Structure formats: C-alpha cells, structure tokens
Structure 1
C-alpha cells in the first residue's frame, strides 16, 4: 500500500521508491534511479506519467494526486491510500522533545520555485489549501531566509541566539531554516512523519503551519493566513512572527 501523503516533493521514504520504480518501468526517465527521495527528476518523470494519462497543461505538474497515483498503481500493481492526503493535523502527534531535534542540513534547494514546491508538500501534509498556504509560506521564506539561501539559514545575531552549541556549531536557540523556526517551536509543532531537523524545508514549513494555527488562529484552509500573519502578507511590510 502506497500512501499519497508520503509521495510528495521533498520527502524520502519507501513509498516514493515504489513509485519511482513504477515510473521507470513505464519508460519515464529518472537518471538517479529509485533513490526514495522525491526531487526534480522524479517530478519530471511523474509529469510525463500524468501526460500519458491524458493530463494537459498545469494539470501535468508532476505533483501526485489521488486519481493519477491510483491509475499508476493500477498499471503497476500497487494499491494507493488517499485517505491521509490533505488530512488535518495539529502536529501534536508529531511533537518532539528538544533533545530529539537534529541539526543536519539536507541541502534542500533554494529559490522561489523550490519554495513553492516544498510549500505544496507542506500544505498537503497539514491539510491546508495550497491556494492560501503556498503564497504565504513562500513570502515568509523570502523574508526570513531569501528562499533558503545558505548564508541566511541561521540567525546568530538576534535575541534568540543563545544556549549550548549544537552539532551545526551554532547556539541551540538560534532560529534556523527557510522559515526561521527556533528549535523549541519546531519541536512543539513538528509534523509527524517529517524530518527532525529544522533545516529540512518541508518539515519546517509544516511546523510553521501548525504554529500559526495555534498562535494566530489561522484557520484550517489557511484563507486568513496572510491577514493574520503580517510576515506572510506580501502587501504589507515585513514583521517578525
């Protein structure tokens, strides 16, 4: 059984490996092979599969949906669980202790297009409408880290920059990653099934969604995200969140 929620851009798991093998068997090129990580090559191959199924234009975007993945599964011999896709989660089930937070940088991509793709995955995992969540998260990532640029991934100068030195050689409480969560916030609002490092863009964006829902009362769809969180609103000046 392959879970749709597991087959999303930026994630790494065995369900993705199963899908990659199916795509390759159907003639879609993934030069790196079935790595188990959903990155650009897999997205391009999945877009080819969508076009083969009759999707056109923006509908062939390389992002799995229930219908297209189920058809791939039917052709390739695996079942698909769509029930968990887009399900709501408060993050409580994924909460970490501070000692469980890790500090390795997986080397996620930078730039606006990459942030849009990671944000779509985060919205899928947390049940937020991407029409609202993606632009809000991308705006935050632009303002907080210049779209995950390496030199802005750790803030060592603000009031949070204190605590013991961690394996990434920075104080524990420094804000980190594309949306600049401090580790205690990342741990509290961590999304089950995502990476345990705030440097992972999908994991941190999920934690950001769970955080703004709890603190700012952003609703399930995210329709009031930009209205309630100024840092997510491109029409207003930046403001820390």
Structure 2
C-alpha cells in the first residue's frame, strides 16, 4: 500500500522507492535508479508516465495525483494506493462505487455559483474572500455555470469507461468544477452529497484536491496564484 501523501516531490521514503520501481518497470528512465528520493529524475519519469496514461498540459506535471498513481500501481501490479490519509481529503473519502450520478436540481448561473462556493468554503475551512472568486472563476470556465445536466464533458481524454447511470462514460469529468469520479471520491468532503453534479460537493472536492495537488494554503490566499484556471487575470488553463 502506497500513501499518496508520501509520494511528493522532495520526499525520501519507501513509498517513493516503490513508485520508482513501478516507473522503471513501465520503461520510464530514472538514471540513478530506485533511490527512494523524489527528485527531478523521478518527476521527469512520472511526467512521462502521465503522458503515456493520456494526461496532457498542466495535468502532466510529474506530480502524482490519485488517478495516475492508482493506474500506475494497477498496470505494474506492484502496489495499491491509500488515499485515506491525504491530509486535505476532508475526512469523507468515498469508494468509487459510492459515487452517484443523480441530478440534485441545483441552480445555474454565476450568482448561484458564488452562493455554492461560499458554502463549500464554510465546509472546508477556506476563507471565502479567496475561495469564492477562485471557485466561481473555475465554474465559469469549466462548465459555464450551466444547468447540472449539461455539466459533463464527453469529449476529452477522460471520457472513457463503462456507462454510468447518467448514460455517460464513468470517467467523464462532471459537475460545476469538473471532477472525474475517482478524484471526487478521493477528495470528497464529509457531509456533502455523493454526486459530483451537486455543486457544493463538487466544489468542496475541488478545494481538497487543489490543497493537495497544488499545495494551496488552508486559507486559500494563494489559490488563484497556484491554480491558473482559478485566476480571472490569466488565460484559462486546465487544472
């Protein structure tokens, strides 16, 4: 079992060594071998693995996320991923089978997104003055603050897998801030709905995800600075 929180840039431990062995088994180049130190060589190798898995742009940054790491473990049969102890997962981790795909009937529009964002900040402990504009910007760019039934991406590289109860491939990005189900499950916030179509649940999972993946502070003061898609002063960029 490999803990996602252990496999981070700059860390040295046995989980890193296990992941390095998996990368080497997949043909990724780590000149120094499985040293247990997550340095630049391992980041480059992990980026190559992300690209091979179909990640692109900012998603192929060489930093492990729950989806790519779990896939690496499955493809090499060397480890499984423990995301239970990711510090920012909100204490509400779901099994993938627990994710539902129902339409909660949430409102659409930018003003509604701001209200939902404020609630997500309240649940996750992020300061609204930072979190609300960042989440609203993401929602505008990812889903156009649209009606829930339109908040599913069926055309990008994530759109694969067996059909879910909503009629779309299971791995499609969904919700106001576009979470794929495995990420939504891993970063689910306790006390929120189990469907990414629920705006508060989706935004809460997004907060937990960016805290872990982009090292956004608890307050969210650096949210827009670290996540370009959340910054209205910069051009859109997937996160």
Q: TM-score, normalised by structure 1?
A: 0.62
**Among 118, 140, 143, the residue aligned to 1:142:** 140
The question of whether the paired residues in 2 share the 8 Å contact of 1:148 and 1:177 is answered with no
Superposition deviation, residue 181 in structure 1? 0.3
SS in 2 for 1:99: helix
- Please name the residue that 1:192 is paired with: 190
Q: TM-score, normalised by structure 2?
A: 0.63
2:230 paired with 1:221: no
The one-character-per-residue Cα deviations of 1:177-217 (angstroms, maximum 9, x if unpaired) are 10000000000000001000000000000000000000000
- Give matches, 1:101-140, under 5 Å: 101-140=99-138
State the alpha-carbon separation in 2 of the partners of residues 121 and 212 from structure 1.
17
| Alpha-carbon RMSD | 1.1
The one-character-per-residue Cα deviations of 1:46-92 (angstroms, maximum 9, x if unpaired) are xxxxxxxxxxxxxxxxxxxxxxxxxxxxxxxxxxxxxxxxxxx8225
State the alpha-carbon separation in 2 of the partners of residues 170 and 151 from structure 1.
11
Is there any run of 5+ residues in structure 1 with no aligned partner, and where? Answer: 1-88
The question of whether the paired residues in 2 share the 8 Å contact of 1:132 and 1:225 is answered with yes
State the alpha-carbon separation in 2 of the partners of residues 101 and 231 from structure 1.
25
Superposition deviation, residue 153 in structure 1? 0.4
State the alpha-carbon separation in 1 of the partners of residues 90 and 189 from structure 2.
8
- Give matches, 1:15-164, under 5 Å: 90-150=88-148, 152-164=150-162
Superposition deviation, residue 152 in structure 1? 3.8
State the alpha-carbon separation in 1 of the partners of residues 90 and 235 from structure 2.
32
State the alpha-carbon separation in 1 of the partners of residues 180 and 235 from structure 2.
22
The question of whether the paired residues in 1 share the 8 Å contact of 2:151 and 2:174 is answered with yes
Q: How many residues align?
A: 153
State the alpha-carbon separation in 2 of the partners of residues 119 and 169 from structure 1.
27
